A and B are shown apart, each in its own frame.
Chain A
Amino acid sequence: MKPAPFEYHAPTTVEEALSLLAEHGYDAKVLAGGQSLIPMMNFRLVQPAMLVDLNNIPDLAYIRPDENGGLRIGAMTRHRQVETSPLAAERAPLVHAAMSKIAYPQVRTRGTFGGSVSHADPSAELPALSLALDGKFRLRRQDGERWVPASEFFISLFTTVLEADELLVEASLPPMPPRSGWSLQEVARRPHDFALMGVAAVVTLNEKGLCEGARLVYISAGDRPTLAERAAEALKGQAPSPEVIREAAEIASAQEIDPSSDIHATAEFRRHLANVLTRRALEQAFQRAAENKQEG
């Protein structure tokens, strides 16, 4: 299983990379960690005419604190760096916790934040978590840049708003509001496989202990990470009781996701799992929020 031939460029600056993309656009594929792209090339499922390798651009790998209390992650930051970053653990615990679920240790050495997000696999964690945290991405092209919120970034299966001459350079993950709790619940055949179903929940309580806001995002529930807005709405203003949680889980799993059937799971089983995992995620997230409330 050897890849087809391709032209190869290894720019050392972002500007050089952008210039290559501006010139070669549709013929070029960006090579980040390669952990998703190279298997596809080895199977010859994709045969890009050109690869623009970002691995020699040191400026793209960093984890920095944001003044708003959140995190700025460079696109070429390796999963391993996030996994071992105390800053990430502190400011984006949801993302930090997900890291050990992503594939295997050897994959995390090379896999990158930007690569995973741009690849837009609905079964991957980082696209969904970026959405759960209401993050945004900075996209640069040779003649400018734009910020795109995660909620607008993912269009459909493996498809984002990225143009052929654009590069995702940075993710900005805002901090969770005070009195927030989070949870990531996944079911996978083996712990490191793509989830059959996953739910990321971020909930916030007000001073009275009622739900002030919630974000529920689903993995493997459609052609892109899915935000369950109606279920979140149903939680607003409510005390997080088992009945309220169960109701939200019902709404999300019955109405707001569109899982497909494949050899690993039917749509029906996925919906069932979504229901169960939403319940568990909300229970844990609210529990954590209550604990934060006590400390905060």
Chain B
Amino acid sequence: MQSTFDLTITVNGTRYERSVEPRMLLSDFLRHELGLTGTHVGCEHGVCGACSVLMDGQPIRSCLTFAVQAHGHEITTVEGLGTRDNLHPIQQAFQEAHGLQCGFCTPGILTTVKAFLEQNPNPSEEEIREALSGNLCRCTGYQHIIEAVQLAAEKMRK
């Protein structure tokens, strides 16, 4: 039995080559193999959304994907959005609207929102709530998150 697989993956524009066990989850690969600890793990059964990243631009749950399945694909994590000195408009909006408290669910929300706003640049409140239904937050009650998304949409439309 082949115990490890050679994997080539692009994450936030950088190409990586690694050998991994097929059972290694993409969430663990990103966090511990690549040291990109911005993506968080909340449940490992695909409900909380904290582990959400983009695969080829679309949101997926990295805890429900084996790293080997990302071979040849492009992954975007929260680290690929902006930096502390140069926040992405979505990140700026979240800070201005207080769309985070403990910040644990936030990276998963940011990647989800990035893909969402690309598809729906002028969403209604209901559409935003729908789009976020797969991201659980225990701190905010979602209200400031919704406002942050609305503000982000406004910023990105300019």
Contacts and interface: CB of A to CB of B under 8 A. Distances in A.
Interface in A13-44: 34-35, 38-39, 42-43
Interface residues of A, number: 30
Contacts of B71: 10
Interface stretch (A57-65, A88-96, A100-108): A100-108
Contacts of B52: 106
A144 interface: no
User: In terms of DSSP, what is the predominant structure of the interface of chain A?
Assistant: loop
Contacts of B2: 7-8
A55 B69 contact: yes
A191 interface: yes
Interface stretch (B20-28, B76-84, B86-94, B143-151): B20-28
Most buried by B among A104, A107, A190: A104
B134 A106 contact: yes
Interface string B97-139: 0000000000000001000100000000000001101100000
B45 interface: yes
What's the dominant secondary structure at chain B's contact region? mixed
Given A42-B45, A43-B45, A8 B112 contact: no
A106 B60 contact: yes
30 contacts: A1-B44, A2-B25, A2-B28, A3-B25, A6-B22, A7-B2, A7-B22, A8-B2, A8-B22, A8-B23, A8-B68, A10-B69, A10-B71, A34-B64, A34-B66, A38-B63, A38-B65, A53-B68, A53-B69, A55-B69, A104-B134, A106-B46, A106-B134, A107-B64, A109-B55, A109-B59, A110-B65, A190-B133, A191-B130, A192-B134
